[in-house]
Structure 1
Amino acid sequence: MSQVSTSSSPDVTEKPAGIGQPLGAGAVTALVGFTSSFAVVLSGLRAVGASPAQAASGLLVLCFTQGIGILLLSFRYRIPITLAWSTPGAALLVSTGLVAGGWPGAVAAFAVTGVLIVVTGLWQRLGSLVAAIPVPIAQAMLAGVLVPLCLAPVQALRTSPTVVVPVIVVWLVLQRYAPKWAVLVAFATAAVGTGIDIVVADRHLDLSAMIPTVELTAPQWHWQAIIGIAVPLYIVTMASQNIPGVAVMRSFDYQVPWRPAMLVTGIGTVLGAPAGGHAINLAAISAALAAAPSASPDPKRRWIAAATAGASYLVLGLASAALVTLIAAAPAGTLETVAGLALLATLAASLSAALTDPGDRLAALVTFLVAASGTTLLGIGGAFWALLAGLIVRRILPAQK
């Protein structure tokens, strides 16, 4: 990753702006980042064996590690560096499902992912190897692991139509008029529908379960889990989050301090793994909310927006247990519906990137199909086999023009 320098904020001087604008932009950055994909994170953690309490702990520690990481980097470098949890990585967990060792095995794989990210910051060659994976293959793997989640809204229509139909309608309307808030309002609609369902069924929520707690799990090391989770989780996090995150920041004339960013996110991932955090990384799309001129007309003050986002994540993390408690009481398919809707745009972008180049189209298609199949061989999930199959096909067959 030699193309990424570690310089500080760009040498641009503009009239100083008030602090209210970056503070507001930072709060919006965190709120949009959290609400747009927390359902995906919870679905992923539950899929690999986490209990509701462990999933809530994972969401809590992800908020805390990325919030602290944002504060450290933005204060140190005075540029609007924002972090996020790995949403594609969480979707990968959904397609992977239970692995050898169950939840403790998955926790060990999360820790290995963090170590790989740290090594990437220290050893340039590893980052170069990830960047050398053809974009169509990497995007096809991501698209394949997203398919099961994106099918969830359709499948949930059969099991919980009275809650799911309003969620889909609200999401569709907001996509037309206010797409940034579509997932947030869709989740609010799901929460209202769940509340009505609880009242009608005369059920009660366990209020004690809404208190945020950290559930630590001792990792159990299984090679199948490491190959099936850690390797594809690392690749999808690097290819779909960290590398694009650098590009987004560069588009606003900011140079990401690559090594410090990888060390902070890698160490944060390792520390958060026992509590259920799967991976944190550079923000990609949401990075623009804090780095764009809308955050502040003065580029040298936009770091305030990032710092505010970091502090906001610390507050939002406290809501993790309450969210999990509410979701646990929701009709079947509600969480998966919100998560699937949140990932539709990502699936569309991944499919487009995977199939655009005619020379790699066949290899990308093979990668996509293997990943979407969810096939597990030798205890290793389909994402790894998809990547391997795509690279083999690309190597053997001549480029299709």
Structure 2
Amino acid sequence: MLGVSFPAVSAGLLAGFVGFASSFAVVLQGLSAMGATPAEAGSGLMALSVAMGLCGIVLSLWRRMPISVAWSTPGAALLAASALPVGGFPVAVGAFVVSGALIVLAGLWTPLGRAVAAIPAPLANAMLAGVLLGLCLAPVRAVAEAPLPGIAIILAWALVGRLNRLMAVPAAVLAAVAAVSLTVELPPGLLEAAGPAPVLVLPEFTLAAVIGLALPLFLVTMASQNIPGMAVLTVNGYQPAPGPLFTVTGLFSLAAAPFGGHAVNLAAITAALCASPEAGPWPARRWQAAVVAGLVYVLFGLLAGTATAFVGAAPPILIQAVAGLALLGSFGAALQAALAVPQARDAAVITFVVTASGLTVLGISGAFWGLLAGGAMLALHHRRG
């Protein structure tokens, strides 16, 4: 019987804190953009936190590997950049359900998983970069609209990031909390909102939402989270079969969807914390790090009401600024990967521009049209070649 690994426990605590604090603002921004009320957004944040915590615990105990699970941050950014669907939040929840079902299917049916992996990397990354661009501009807009708080948030992020990149966004969160506390009259019952009540939302399904929300959410989650998450495990010497992991994350996504959760998936950044030597010199004990991180996520989920109430009372531009800073690294990596292949550069640029434009046709978001336009350009290029 293996004993407790204290380095693994420490890494798990850090991973749980960083995973939640670094991107909960993105999640709330995405759910609000889909028409969620504050109560529904709080329910969604709680559902995602509990789902990814329990999913990570289940997978790590089952496989005895440090399998970290997170919510889909790029998916939340996609929601934030998309137009409000006709029919409001119930239609968005319907798209969450379809996306979760597709993730389950990708795990059970190998050809679908291979098809997602076969999407040209320049186009997938260009689509992701286009989705992230709008929120990544928010820190600049924050400085223009609220100079002192905006600059304080950016300085906290930059100065702490110079010492420890993982703590940069949590530092920005703390700076935003301080700025809002000093400049905004907070509601008196803020701390009493710690435990949000689950809000059941009956999903509604429309073809436009399936094509414009569910399909891009599925593709972004698979290409930007699940596949890199597998790569992190492989690099650190773990070789789990991907199909069962995708299936389980899809099932937990389906469970969270009726309560407002958009998607959970394999983690990448926090996975590196839990699977690398930072979690201890004994690879066979590092699964404990992912279990501890899962427990931290569940705890944060039970306190999600306070986070939601605070965000609701804060100036939206400051919350968007924190979300944008959290996504800058992902945006830079996606843009670099999108332009890395000269033969696909034109197609990638078209994908990026169309996606970032916010184009909506027939109720279908720009992410789908960007991928379609880039794919057409790439096919034309190959035909000429």
Whether TM exceeds 0.5 here: the answer is yes
**110, 121, 132: which one aligns with 1:146:** 132
What are the ranges of 5 or more consecutive residues in structure 2 without an aligned counterpart? none
Residue aligning to 2:187: 204
1:84 aligns with 2:67: no
1:78 to 1:400, Cα distance in 2 relative to 1, 3 A: farther
Per-residue deviation, 1:331: 2.2
Whole-Å separation in 2 of the counterparts to 1:203 and 1:305: 36
Residue aligning to 2:47: 61
After TM superposition, the structure 1 = structure 2 runs for residues 206-355 of structure 1, keeping only pairs within 5 Å, are 206-207=189-190, 208-355=192-339
SS in 2 for 1:333: helix
Do the aligned residues in 2 keep the contact of 1:360 with 1:400 (CA within 8 Å)? no
Identity in percent: 48
Deviates more, 1:98-107 or 1:323-332: 323-332
Query: Residue type of the partner of 1:365?
Result: V
Query: Residue type of the partner of 1:204?
Result: P
Query: Residue type of the partner of 1:164?
Result: G
Deviations 1:58-116 (A, max 9, x none): 11111111111111111111111111100111111111130122100000000000000
Per-residue deviation, 1:400: 9.8
What are the ranges of 5 or more consecutive residues in structure 1 without an aligned counterpart? 1-15
Do the aligned residues in 2 keep the contact of 1:170 with 1:186 (CA within 8 Å)? yes
Whole-Å separation in 2 of the counterparts to 1:259 and 1:149: 32
Q: TM-score, normalised by structure 1?
A: 0.93
1:288 to 1:80, Cα distance in 2 relative to 1, 3 A: same
Do the aligned residues in 2 keep the contact of 1:205 with 1:329 (CA within 8 Å)? no
Query: Residue type of the partner of 2:352?
Result: F
Whole-Å separation in 2 of the counterparts to 1:204 and 1:397: 57
**187, 191, 199: which one aligns with 2:173:** 187
Whole-Å separation in 2 of the counterparts to 1:132 and 1:399: 19
Do the aligned residues in 1 keep the contact of 2:102 with 2:218 (CA within 8 Å)? yes
Query: Residue type of the partner of 1:82?
Result: S
Whole-Å separation in 2 of the counterparts to 1:266 and 1:204: 37
Whole-Å separation in 2 of the counterparts to 1:18 and 1:71: 16
Do the aligned residues in 1 keep the contact of 2:91 with 2:203 (CA within 8 Å)? yes
Whole-Å separation in 2 of the counterparts to 1:399 and 1:285: 38
Query: Residue type of the partner of 1:54?
Result: E
Per-residue deviation, 1:335: 0.6
Q: CA RMSD in A?
A: 1.5
Residue aligning to 1:19: 5
Do the aligned residues in 2 keep the contact of 1:360 with 1:399 (CA within 8 Å)? no
1:397 aligns with 2:384: no
Residue aligning to 1:9: none
Deviates more, 1:159-168 or 1:391-400: 391-400
Residue aligning to 1:4: none
After TM superposition, the structure 1 = structure 2 runs for residues 97-112 of structure 1, keeping only pairs within 5 Å, are 97-112=83-98
Do the aligned residues in 2 keep the contact of 1:41 with 1:90 (CA within 8 Å)? yes
Per-residue deviation, 1:398: 4.2
Deviations 1:168-219 (A, max 9, x none): 1111111212211010011001001111113xxx553443544321111111
Query: Residue type of the partner of 2:276?
Result: A
Per-residue deviation, 1:264: 1.1
Q: TM-score, normalised by structure 2?
A: 0.96
Q: Which aligned segments of 4 or more residues in structure 1 are displaced greater than 6 angstroms?
A: none
Do the aligned residues in 1 keep the contact of 2:52 with 2:297 (CA within 8 Å)? yes
Per-residue deviation, 1:294: 1.4
Residue aligning to 1:37: 23
Deviations 1:318-338 (A, max 9, x none): 221101111111123011000
Query: Residue type of the partner of 2:250?
Result: G
Whole-Å separation in 2 of the counterparts to 1:278 and 1:186: 25
Do the aligned residues in 2 keep the contact of 1:96 with 1:374 (CA within 8 Å)? yes
Query: Residue type of the partner of 1:362?
Result: D
Whole-Å separation in 2 of the counterparts to 1:18 and 1:276: 36
Deviations 1:18-68 (A, max 9, x none): 522111111111111111111111111111111111111111111111111
1:172 aligns with 2:158: yes
Per-residue deviation, 1:399: 8.5
Do the aligned residues in 1 keep the contact of 2:194 with 2:302 (CA within 8 Å)? no
1:74 aligns with 2:57: no
Whole-Å separation in 1 of the counterparts to 2:186 and 2:106: 49
**103, 111, 116: which one aligns with 1:130:** 116
